Amino acid sequence: MSAAATAPEQIRATAQSYVDALVAGDLEAVMALYADDATVEDPVGGGTVHEGAEAIRAFYSSVVALKIEAKVLETRVCGNDLLFNFEITTHFDGGSKATINVWDLMVHDAEGKVSSMRAYWTPENMS
């Protein structure tokens, strides 16, 4: 392990920091987790990979505008990879809501920033 390696605890903490930022609607806190040249694919197989800070900011600006609740269910750290399962509930006008069970895979760089995020969920994971 090189001196530049990120500690597993720091990588694991990204899951809660990410969920907290989404719930708070804090775009800057979300962006602080990502490297400038990161990629985001949400959902995987959806056809769109957001590349670089500008594209990622545009993607998350609509996400943080929503009224959401979320909780981390499970985390696994292997090397610089963080795999975590969380549940996110979006509340809509009129009292309706949608809950999605998501697995995110976040690859971290040597500075502990997320260089790649891939979200695994489909409509069958919604309730």
The pLDDT of residue 27 is 98
Tokens of 61: 């600006």
Is the pLDDT score of 2 beyond 60?
no
Average pLDDT for residues 7-34, to the nearest whole number? 97
Nearest CA to 36 out of 57, 22, 65 is that of 57
Report the chain's terminal Cα–Cα distance, integer Å: 42
Q: Is 34 a catalytic residue?
A: no
Catalytic residue (one of 34, 42, 60, 104)? 42
- Give the Cα separation of 56 and 12 in Å (integer): 21
What domains appear along the chain, each with residue ranges and CATH number? Answer: 8-125 (3.10.450.50)
The percentage of residues in the chain with a pLDDT greater than 90, rounded to a whole number, is 93
The pLDDT of residue 3 is 42
Whether the CB-CB separation of 11 and 108 falls below 8 Å is answered with yes
Residue 106 CA, distance from chain mean position? 7
Confidence of residue 115 (pLDDT cuts 50, 70, 90): very high
Average pLDDT for residues 27-36, to the nearest whole number? 98
Residue 85 CA, distance from chain mean position? 10
Residues β-bridged to residue 67: 91
- Give the Cα separation of 72 and 119 in Å (integer): 14
Is the pLDDT score of 123 beyond 50?
yes
Average pLDDT for residues 27-40, to the nearest whole number? 98
- For the stretch 58-85, pLDDT in tens is 999 999 999 999 999 999 999 999 999 9
Q: Is 42 a catalytic residue?
A: yes
